Amino acid sequence: AEKIVSGIMDALGLESKFKIKVANVPNVEATLKHHERYILYNPEFVNQVNEVTKDKWASIFILAHEVGHHLEGHTEAGLKSRPAIELEADQFAGFVLCKMGATLQQSRLAMYYISNITSSKTHPGRLDRLVAIEKGWHKAEMQKELENNSVPITDNSSATN
């Protein structure tokens, strides 16, 4: 889990300052303790997702989603799970997975196994979550295209007139 979070942060060009800990939680959760950012995870849950999906991207998505809660300010604001913030974290995770090289299908894979079809008070329904992931993924894809098509900036200070 630490290596995955480190890879997520590398893809963003940021230093990882999260504490990653095995914990007695139902799945994975982002939290603040003593002004430190934690990602707590249940290894049985992560292993189960890996087994069911047979794809490394599913667990990467789950951890990226939790990183998203931290970087989107959800944990600092003390926000509890609700559909709007879950969609922000899903979009963030879609963005990150694209940056890391996952296809859109790979980025969306975990959601087929971990989400409910219908929404609840805390989490949106599967279709809304898949749309959010796709939105984030396409945002990163557009950035890649812009970077590939941009004209490099040159230093003209030594040019003569």
**Rounded to an integer, what distance in angstroms lies between the CA atom of residue 8 and that of residue 112?**
21
pLDDT digits (tens, 9 = 90+) for 20-76: 999 999 999 999 999 999 999 999 999 999 999 999 999 999 999 999 999 999 998
| Sign, Cα dihedral of 112, 116, 118, 119 | negative
Structure tokens at 64: 């990226």
Query: How far apart (Å, rounded) are the C-alpha atoms in residues 114 and 49?
Result: 8
Backbone angles phi and psi of 40, in degrees to 5: -100, 135
The number of beta carbons lying within 10 Å of the beta carbon of residue 104 is 16
pLDDT tens track for 99-137: 999 999 999 999 999 999 999 999 999 999 999 999 999
User: For 24-35, how does the pLDDT look when each residue is reduced to its tens digit (9 = 90+)?
Assistant: 999 999 999 999
What is the rounded CA–CA span in Å between residue 32 and residue 75?
A: 6
pTM: 0.88
pLDDT of residue 79: 84
